[in-house]
Amino acid sequence: MILAVLTAALVAAIALIATTTSIPSELALFVGNPLQPLGARVNQKSSEYYIGYRGSDFDKPWAKSFNDNVSPVDQDFIRSLERSPVPASQGVSIRDAGEALNQPGYLPLEDGYTFLDDGTLLLAIRSEMPPNFSGEMYDFWFSWHMNDTTKYKLWHPKQHQYAATTYRTKLWGTTSFVSEYIGATADKISISFFDPSLLNFTTTNPSTGVETLVAAFAKTFRHTKRDATAMAKRGFKPWDTVLIHQVRRTPDGGGYEVRSRFWLGSWLVRRLRVVGDPEGLARDLCVHCREEMTHLGRFLPGLFGEFGGDVST
Ligand SMILES: *[C@@H]1O[C@H](CO)[C@@H](O)[C@H](O)[C@H]1NC(C)=O
Ligand SMILES: *[C@@H]1O[C@H](CO)[C@@H](O)[C@H](O)[C@H]1NC(C)=O
Ligand SMILES: *[C@@H]1O[C@H](CO)[C@@H](O)[C@H](O)[C@H]1NC(C)=O
């Protein structure tokens, strides 16, 4: 009952917004026509997805980077999750994040999650990367991995099961259609990338060692193409999920780190409280992110050495 009321309110609000601004793709989400433009490229049949490499997958030139020995997250990280949610004052709103993440040093919340005062759920994950990592590699990775399931599986061999994309290489404006396990359940997710400066994020800052930053809107449960540029221009809404990954030299200069943040809007969180478990999702997503970033650090320097020229933009 509560769910029905919430859903009706959500649809009504979206319809209202869609008539006052031009975001038809948002409306399409709720009237359900996402398949048309994707049909040719995207296999929507999740029953055909599977975890790991099989048969001819091992013939891919990058198969030697497939290593399904994913290191478990460390005890400090688990303790950070156990201490969460931390007080809202330790978090940063998406409005202030661009400036906050551009400062040297660390923020109060680097690992864990909190519910901000407006109800937004913020996740923070910091993953250490090796000294031979770089922002350039990370940019390569995002342009390279999205168009082939066997590439995407390198990243989290135990939880990634499918990937396709709207375009081959260009990142901003591209939607990546994936299926991955977050915790015990596999979901379709559409990840639509945009120019981070549209939400005030800085992509490079030599004085703080920031070498790149990747930003996207994420939509769970569907493979649906969205115009992330238009969405970023209209700003973060309570039904949005935005994620960013910042690649930075560690303050001691010895290595690299990926600082990841996810903002799940307050309406989503409210829905999750009815139909799911926002804190369970927060923990699962933090662990997934930490595992996949740490794993990426293990093979990307070598992969980039071999395939770094394989992306034409
Ligand atoms: C970006 O920063 C400017 C200046 O600090 C601010 O006025 C604006 O609201 C910010 N935009 C977003 C989308 O957060
Ligand atoms: C990158 O550095 C790690 C050690 O941090 C090393 O194990 C790995 O072999 C290096 N990769 C390349 C391609 O040099
Ligand atoms: C993926 O992109 C590469 C270029 O980076 C291209 O050579 C390859 O054919 C594409 N694969 C698929 C499955 O579209």
Q: What is the pLDDT of residue 220?
A: 82
Each residue's pLDDT, cut to its tens digit, for the chain (313 residues) gives: 444 444 444 444 443 333 333 333 333 233 333 333 454 566 767 777 878 888 888 899 998 988 888 888 999 999 999 999 999 999 999 999 999 999 999 999 999 999 999 999 999 999 999 999 999 899 888 888 877 888 888 887 777 777 666 554 478 878 777 777 777 777 778 889 999 999 999 999 999 999 999 999 998 877 778 889 999 999 999 999 999 999 999 988 889 999 999 999 999 999 989 988 999 989 999 999 999 999 999 999 999 988 887 765 4
Distance CA 189, CA 108 (A): 29
DSSP state, residue 74: P
Regarding the beta carbon of 251 and ligand 2, being less than 6 Å apart is answered: no
Give the ligand whose atoms come closest to the C-alpha of residue 199. 1
Q: How far is the CA of 169 from the centre of ligand 3 (A)?
A: 8
Domain spanning 39-307 has what CATH number?
3.30.530.20
Cα 116 to Cα 11, 84, 90, 199, 263, distances in angstroms: 24, 12, 9, 18, 10
Q: Among 94, 109, 95, 112, which residue's Cα sits nearest to residue 264?
A: 94
- The tokens describing 44, both together, are 């929507």
Regarding the beta carbon of 132 and ligand 2, being less than 6 Å apart is answered: yes
Q: What is the pLDDT of residue 3?
A: 45
> What backbone torsions phi and psi does residue 188 show, to the nearest 5 degrees?
-75, 140
Q: What is the pLDDT of residue 147?
A: 77
Buried b (16+ CB within 10 A) or exposed e, 212-230: bbbbbbbbeebbbbbbbeb
The angle at the Cα of 138, spanning 133 to 140, to the nearest 5 degrees, equals: 120
Regarding the beta carbon of 43 and ligand 3, being less than 6 Å apart is answered: no
- CA-nearest residue for atom 7, ligand 3, is 310
Preceding amide of 85 cis, omega within 30: yes
Q: What is the pLDDT of residue 194?
A: 93
Regarding the beta carbon of 276 and ligand 2, being less than 6 Å apart is answered: no
pTM for the model: 0.80
Q: How far is the CA of 95 from the centre of ligand 1 (A)?
A: 6
Distance CA 103, CA 283 (A): 26
Q: What share of the chain is helix, strand, coil (3-state, %, to 5)?
A: 40, 20, 35
Q: How far is the CA of 162 from the centre of ligand 3 (A)?
A: 15
Q: What is the pLDDT of residue 148?
A: 81
Q: Among 55, 219, 32, 134, which residue's Cα sits nearest to residue 228?
A: 219
Q: What is the pLDDT of residue 1?
A: 41
Domain ranges of the chain: 1-33, 39-307
Regarding the beta carbon of 108 and ligand 2, being less than 6 Å apart is answered: no
Ligand 3 atom with the shortest distance to the CA of 144: 5
* DSSP-derived secondary structure for 114-152: EE-TTS-EEEEEEEEE-TT--HHHHHHHHHHHTT-HHHH
209, burial (CB in 10 Å: exposed 0-12, middle 13-18, buried 19+) = middle
Ligand 2 atom with the shortest distance to the CA of 302: 13
Regarding the beta carbon of 148 and ligand 3, being less than 6 Å apart is answered: yes
| Mutational pocket test of ligand 1: of 200, 202, 231, 242, the residue with most ligand atoms within 8 Å of the beta carbon | 200
Distance CA 113, CA 80 (A): 9
Distance CA 276, CA 6 (A): 14
Q: How far is the CA of 212 from the centre of ligand 2 (A)?
A: 20
- The tokens describing 110, both together, are 């680097």
Ligand 1 cavity residues, CB under 6 Å: 95, 199-200, 235
Q: What is the pLDDT of residue 91?
A: 98
Distance CA 194, CA 192 (A): 7
